[in-house]
Amino acid sequence: MTPSRPQPAVQARRQFEAALGAANVFFDDTDIAAYQDKFAIDDEAHHPAGAVAPATVEEIQAVVRIAREHGIALWPISRGKNLGYGGSAPLLAGSVVLDLSRMKKIDYDEANGTVLLEPGVGFYDLYDFLQQRGLKHWLSTPGNSWGSVVGNALDRGVGYTPYGENTSKICGMEVVLADGTLVRTGMGALSGSPTWQLYRYGFGPCWDQLFVQSNFGIVTKMGLWLMPEPESLMGMDVEFDHPDDLGPLIDAIAPLRREGLLQQSPTIGNWLRAAAVLTTRDQWTKEPGALSDSVIKAIRDKYKVGWWGVSLRLYGRESVNKAAYAVLEEAMNRLKPMSLRPTVWKRGEPLEYSGWTGTPITFPMQNANWHGGRGGHIGFSPVLPQSGSAAMAQFKRTYERYREYGMDYQASFAFGERHLINVNAVLLNKDDPAMMKKVDPFLHALVADAKAHGYGEYRTHLDYMDLVASTYDFNDHALRKLNERVKTALDPTGVIAPGKSGIWPASARRGAA
Amino acid sequence: MTPSRPQPAVQARRQFEAALGAANVFFDDTDIAAYQDKFAIDDEAHHPAGAVAPATVEEIQAVVRIAREHGIALWPISRGKNLGYGGSAPLLAGSVVLDLSRMKKIDYDEANGTVLLEPGVGFYDLYDFLQQRGLKHWLSTPGNSWGSVVGNALDRGVGYTPYGENTSKICGMEVVLADGTLVRTGMGALSGSPTWQLYRYGFGPCWDQLFVQSNFGIVTKMGLWLMPEPESLMGMDVEFDHPDDLGPLIDAIAPLRREGLLQQSPTIGNWLRAAAVLTTRDQWTKEPGALSDSVIKAIRDKYKVGWWGVSLRLYGRESVNKAAYAVLEEAMNRLKPMSLRPTVWKRGEPLEYSGWTGTPITFPMQNANWHGGRGGHIGFSPVLPQSGSAAMAQFKRTYERYREYGMDYQASFAFGERHLINVNAVLLNKDDPAMMKKVDPFLHALVADAKAHGYGEYRTHLDYMDLVASTYDFNDHALRKLNERVKTALDPTGVIAPGKSGIWPASARRGAA
């Protein structure tokens, strides 16, 4: 269990109210409930003490000062929609959530295709903003698009377009440190620079990625690159009939991705990833434990989904896309898919509402209803090589674990340029105590299985941050110790998100979970 | 003038010799001369005390321990070929050069197209290594290819292929900190991970870019991505007749670069960038001061070079390249160039020896002979927006400064994805005292001109690191102060490269130059 800090003194709350106005300080029971993790395994583990919602950098600096004075830990959230990984809840129970969702400024540089965003800007906000200006640039939206653009990039979330690895499109930040100092990174360190959002590295060490999945500062502005609207979007949705098709499919896509013919990073999803947003489990079976092959077959037949499916997309000039499409089509047909549906769009035609066009979507969150009851999911997301045999072994190992624990296997293998992220969703019914009891040992088993093969998670739920950090163990956890030296130098008392990504200040270090 | 530290005591040299063998410790006068900056404006400014050349991580750790014990500052170099920016010389006179050129291990992952390199591996070493294995991956070589692959990426050097921004292809590092701790970044922090060179971010903050242009650690291994050999290479060399052609050329290329039709980052160079490697100034004029228009015309006529020239290249499938070529050709012809020479290569044909094919080259260094005498050059390299009007203004401003100081203007505008780096080479004759006397005020004027327009350098010579760092002045130099807090936390006495990129430990802070 997570240790908790004492509730902030009345005096601290008064100071927050004086600084932000009483309307932006939240310490009632209903407030606290509102900031809990809706998908939590253990509702008690990450209770916030309350929340404060500043609207400006100056107000954030005031909050930080008050928190420092009273020994309060702050848990910054952008819009708090990091569902499956902790939502809006703090790691350390008793922390005050620093809710930045009121900060919604957008600076758009249309000529260069960049934005400078505050953390409260959601994907829908930015989409509306760009649509009003003719949608000359597209977003890269994740499956749950009501979250924050900045928050998603800060947790290394991904989208579906060639700009899908959002964190790699960050260009310059503004950050408040634990002592209240305001820092700008990259070219933003040069006052009034017109290149802040154009060249990310600046002069000397580049800090952007040190503030990602981090507790070294509070990001108050983030530069981000946007994809120019392409002339054409072509591609294909391909379904595969057998579990064993995964390996050859990965080995066919990987070289095309590395050579750059495919600029977008496709995701191979299993049948349940497709079906869990279309139906619910009780429509098909009342049997406990993992689904049987016959039920899986019935669901797949109804919705005509493969055991695995993948969508490939090409963005750019129509003539170039046509030439590249022929290469993709040949590569996919060699694998004898059960179906291959082409898709074509040209500038001027109406846009499909999907992640492929960077349109905000929320239907993937429907999978939380799979089991009925108060639904939820939690992610297990190790990084793998782009190797068919490695992915097949990981799939088989994980699938067996799901069956052992009686869970329904929902998985995807998302390509980066040279890696795969194997996102496994553990679908939950919080009203099923027997199921909920199994989740924690199940996730421990999955983390241990991955570690035994040299794999680590790219991102994890609050409950597992210490555990996952502990798997990054080279030279007696030298990297974590380095992080903690910096944390201690910048934030010795742990004002900002102590424990985030397993990083604690020296004063608060606790053992791995 | 740079302050100097006292010469290391005899005892320290004895300890270095005991740790590394006497053959790898260099403190004679000829040794010291060998490690000076060959292109220095002031030969006295950056005298090393000597050099040590460890061959292993353990030896580096021993050197760091001895240096700490004796208060010696180390200046790590990979192969010391950072010419124009300081070569192998330390910023702080009296430092001991930590020469890593004996560390030449190459680990090649052919399936994934990655290497794990030690700092001593030169571009020629890696090219030979890959060529012996069929050259299935290409390098991204800079104009001076006898330098280190790791060193080039660490100083944010660039090449000419789609992998030309070398620093952005870094994936995972191994680093020795000032206290001797060995750290691995990214997935390398997970012992035995097969994904160290495949996914760069790891879990939590990603450190790679914090060790770039930095003195926070000594990089002992670097993961780097290599471009798969393309099926086809197509492109064109285009020359433009008038100085004013620069603006429209930039505005034509920039959108093609941002939309990704052009994956490679082209460089627009002026006539002298082409001519200074083909001839010498005394063949054309004995007149002092900047060259007259008539001399420029004569040289351009002889070598048929434009006032500006650019090479555009497409890498990939032949069918895709052909479609993209048509788009490029139309865009260039609209600008009415004085010449447009197509170039075509297909896999299996002999490869051109050029940066476009990632072949190591050294002929660009010929420009050091332009003035005769002991030649050299020094770089002035501000970051600009990809805007024709901004680039034209910067060109005109800088050209006037060159004329004011009687210098011959050699310049290029190198595209990144959303920025330009305007590399200006100041060509020198170290045997011309009148010229050498002008260089320092000239560079100060150039830095001040850039700063007045919000532009800062991406990289600079040792002499100007404090000056350039001082232009990154947002919020009273908050970023430099942040760097110095980390420097002080990790290396309080300044064992590793004090002053690099303007970063000093608290104990040694000095004012900006």
pLDDT tens-place string over residues A42-66: 888 899 999 999 999 999 999 999 9
Q: How far apart are CA A496 and CA A490, in angstroms?
A: 10
In this prediction, residue B38 has a pLDDT band, given cuts at 50, 70 and 90, of confident
Contact B374/B433 with Cβ under 8 angstroms?
A: no
Mean predicted lDDT score pLDDT of chain A: 95
Sign, CA torsion B236/B242/B243/B244: negative
> In degrees rounded to 5, what are phi and psi of residue A470?
-70, -20
| Token pair listed for B114 | 């990655």
pLDDT for residue A513? 33
A203 and B501 within 8 Å at the Cβ level: the answer is yes
pLDDT over threshold 50, residue A107 = yes
Q: B 306-335 residues with CB below 8 A of A?
A: 315-317, 319-320, 322-324, 326-327
Distances (CA, A) of A144 to A147, A313, B23: 7, 20, 62
Percentage of chain B lying above the pLDDT 70 cut: 97
Catalytic residue among B85, B108, B315, B405: B85
B258 a catalytic residue = no
Say yes or no to pLDDT of A167 above 80: yes
Question: Nearest chain A Cα to B483, which residue?
Answer: A205
Are B194 and A385 a contacting pair at CB < 8 A?
A: yes
Half-sphere exposure of B347 (CA within 13 A, CB side): 14
Structural contact between residues A426 and A284, judged by C-beta atoms closer than 8 angstroms: no
Query: Residue B82 — very low, low, confident or very high, per pLDDT cuts 50/70/90?
Result: confident
User: Does the beta-carbon distance from B189 to A502 stay under 8 Å?
Assistant: no
Active site residues of A: 85, 458-459
Q: What is the mean pLDDT of residues B407-416?
A: 97
* B 412-451: CB under 8 A from A: 416-419, 421, 451
Are the beta carbons of A3 and A48 closer than 8 angstroms?
no
CB contact under 8 A, B501 and A205: yes
Chain B residue numbers with beta carbons less than 8 Å from the beta carbon of A213 are: 201, 203-205
pLDDT value at position A2?
Answer: 45
> In angstroms, how far is CA A453 from the centroid of its own chain?
24
Nearest-angstrom CA–CA distance, B152 and B472: 23
Q: What is the DSSP string of B421-436?
A: EEEEEEEEETT-HHHH
Please tell me what DSSP assigns to residue A315. E
CA separation, residue A22 to residues A33, A50, A119, A375, B31 (Å):
18, 13, 22, 34, 70
Q: State yes or no: is B85 an active-site residue.
A: yes
Which of A195, A255, A419 is facing B383, going by the closest CB pair?
A: A195
Tell me how far apart the alpha carbons of residues A65 and A72 are, in angstroms, rounded to a whole number. Answer: 10
Nearest Cβ partner of B114 from A185, A390, A418?
A418
Where do the H-state alpha helices sit in B225-279?
246-259, 271-275
Which residues of A fall within a CB distance of 8 Å from B449?
A: none
| pLDDT at residue B511 in the model | 42
Q: Pick the residue of A201, A216, A387 with the most B CBs within 10 A to test the interface with B by mutation.
A: A201
Q: How many residue contacts between A and B have a Cβ separation below 8 Å?
A: 311
Q: Does A510 touch chain B (CB under 8 A)?
A: no
Q: What average pLDDT does the segment B21-42 reach? A: 92
| Residue type for position B384 | L
| Residue A225: pLDDT over 90 | yes
Contacts of A269 (CB under 8 A, 6+ apart): A308, A309, A310, A411, A412
Closest to A259 (Cβ–Cβ): which among B191, B316, B457? B316
Shortest Cα–Cα distance, B127 to chain A (Å): 19
Q: Dihedral, CA atoms, B385, B389, B391, B395, nearest 10 degrees?
A: -160
First to last CA, chain B: 9
Structure tokens at A211: 């503030």
CB contact under 8 A, B320 and A320: yes
What is the arithmetic mean of pLDDT over A450-456? 98
Does residue B111 sit at the A interface (CB-CB below 8 Å)?
yes
CB distance B171–A459 less than 8 Å? no
Question: Which one of the listed residues B127, B160, B315, B458 is annotated catalytic?
Answer: B458
Interface of B with A in 49-108 (CB under 8 A): none
Mean pLDDT score, B255-272: 96
Looking at B334-424, list the stretches that DSSP marks H as alpha helix, in order from N- to C-terminal side.
Answer: 388-404
Cα distance from B275 to chain A (closest Cα, Å)?
30
Look at residue A6 in the predicted model and tell me its pLDDT.
56
Nearest Cα of chain B lies from the Cα of A385 at a distance, in angstroms, of 6
State the pLDDT at residue A19: 98
pLDDT of residue B3 exceeding 60, the answer is no
Give the lowest-confidence range in B169-173, B178-182, B291-295, B329-333: B291-295
pLDDT (tens digit per residue) in B379-392: 999 999 999 999 99
Per residue in B187-221, pLDDT tens? Answer: 999 999 999 999 999 999 999 999 999 999 999 99
Q: Given a cut of 50, is residue A152 above it in pLDDT? A: yes
* Chain B residues 194-233 within an 8 A CB cutoff of chain A: 194-195, 197-199, 201-214, 216, 225, 228, 230
Q: CB contact, 8 Å: A459 with chain B? A: yes
pLDDT for residue A512: 35
Q: Which of A204, A419, A483 sits opposite B483 (nearest CB)?
A: A204
Are A290 and A407 spatial neighbours (Cβ–Cβ below 8 Å)?
yes
Which of A418, A487, A488 best tests the B interface by mutation, with the highest count of B CBs <10 A?
A418
- More confident: B321 or B81: B321
Distances (CA, A) of B305 to B50, B85, B341, B357, B446: 45, 28, 12, 22, 27
Cβ pair B323:A327 closer than 8 A? no
Contact status, residue A309 vs residue A342, Cβ threshold 8 Å: no
Over residues B109-125, the mean pLDDT reads 98
* Confidence category of residue B6, pLDDT binned at 50, 70, 90: low
Identify the residue among B479, B487, B504 best suited for mutation to test binding to A, counting A beta carbons within 10 A and taking the highest.
Answer: B479
Q: Which of A449-463, A479-493, A495-509, B336-350 has the lowest mean pLDDT?
A: A495-509
Average pLDDT over residues B101-120: 98
Question: CB distance from B181 to chain A under 8 Å?
Answer: yes
Cβ-based neighbours of A503, under 8 Å, separated by 6 or more: A214, A215, A469, A480, A483, A484, A487, B204, B205
Report how far residue B431's alpha carbon sits from residue B442's, in angstroms, rounded to the nearest whole number.
18
Q: Is residue A505 scored above 50 in pLDDT?
A: yes
The pTM assigned to this predicted structure is 0.96
Which of A177, A318, A482 to mutate: most B Cβ within 10 Å?
A482
| Contact between B204 and A502 using a beta-carbon 8 Å cutoff | yes
Q: Cα(B349)–Cα(B343) distance, rounded to whole angstroms?
A: 13
B7 pLDDT band, cuts 50/70/90, is: low
Residue at token pair 């006032």: B307
Residue A225's closest chain B neighbor by CA?
A: B418
Which of B114, B167, B419 faces A198 most closely, judged by CB atoms? B419
Question: For A378-398, what is the mean pLDDT?
Answer: 97
pLDDT of residue B427: 93
What rounded mean pLDDT belongs to chain B? 95
pLDDT of residue B276: 92
Contacts of B391 in chain A (CB under 8 A): none
Reply yes or no on whether the pLDDT at B289 is more than 50: yes
Which A residues, 473 through 502, put their C-beta within 8 Å of a C-beta on chain B? 473-475, 478-483, 485-486, 488-490, 500-502
Lowest mean pLDDT segment, chosen from A6-15, A165-174, B349-358: A6-15
Supply the ipTM of this predicted assembly.
0.96
Calculate mean pLDDT across residues A216-237.
98
Beta strands in B91-184 (DSSP E): 96-99, 106-109, 114-117, 137-138, 170-176, 182-184
